[in-house]
Amino acid sequence: MSDIDRLVQLLAKLPGLGPRSARRAAFFLLKRRQSLLEPLAAALAAAARDIRACSLCGNLDTADPCAICRDPKRDAGLVCIVEDLADLWAIERTGAYKGRYHVLGGTLSALDGIGPEDLHIDALAARARDGGIREAILALNATVEGQTTAHYITDRLAGSTVQISRLAHGVPVGGELDYLDEGTLAAALAARQVVKS
């Protein structure tokens, strides 16, 4: 296989890139050797060399423990449990969360053969056992797999002193009731809050 074929084949493994767009991306890179190809190759090499998973929470960083776990201004007793890094980044972008995280690395899925041993659940149970966690927030996707995983984790932490909460499901900010799907509206009704009693 030629080097170009190999480049195209690797690029085609990226999310959102099929073989055709991978070929376009490869030629785009090769035509911009100094401005793009070489800096990208250097950045990829540095990432492969220096970025690793935090041994506490599973976040990716050049340091272990990661910057979030080391930050003394964050509440170490509050841990937000997410499926993957993209979810951690999404919550960080809100700027509204000042606790720590636990990245599971996926969700339980009988269909895909993903069991508890394939996720970072033992590490979470160990963190809970060590007594450092006061509250765990289940921030998992509102999918069957996400909710199955949430139930499993709740069971696993049942014997600990950790308080477990989950994200509210409901009407999105700026949302109009008429446009919501039935599942969201039903969840919003079930999770209604008292405004006067």
Stretch that binds Zn ion, among 25-33, 66-74, 141-149, 184-192 (CB under 5 A): 66-74
Closest CB 54 distance from Zn ion, rounded Å: 3
**41 vs 51 by CB, closer to Zn ion:** 51
In the sheet where 163-166 sits, what is the strand order?
99-103, 75-82, 135-138, 163-166
What would the two tokens of residue 9 be? 């084949």
Any contact of residue 80 with Zn ion (CB under 5 A)? no
Using alpha carbons only, give the angle 107, 108, 112 rounded to the nearest 5 degrees.
Answer: 100
Residues 153 and 53: their CA atoms lie apart, in Å, by 21
**29 vs 85 by CB, closer to Zn ion:** 85
Any contact of residue 79 with Zn ion (CB under 5 A)? no
Residues 143, 148, 151, 152, CA torsion sign: negative
Any contact of residue 149 with Zn ion (CB under 5 A)? no
**65 vs 146 by CB, closer to Zn ion:** 65
Any contact of residue 157 with Zn ion (CB under 5 A)? no
Asked if 120 and 105 touch (Cβ cutoff 8 Å), the reply is yes
Closest CB 65 distance from Zn ion, rounded Å: 5
Of the candidates 44, 66, 67, the one whose C-alpha atom is nearest the C-alpha of residue 55 is 66
Closest CB 136 distance from Zn ion, rounded Å: 15
**7 vs 69 by CB, closer to Zn ion:** 69
Tokens 């709740």, located at residue: 154
Find the binding residues for Zn ion in span 25-54 (CB under 5 A). Answer: 54
Q: Which residues bind Zn ion (CB under 5 A)?
A: 54, 56-57, 59, 65-66, 69
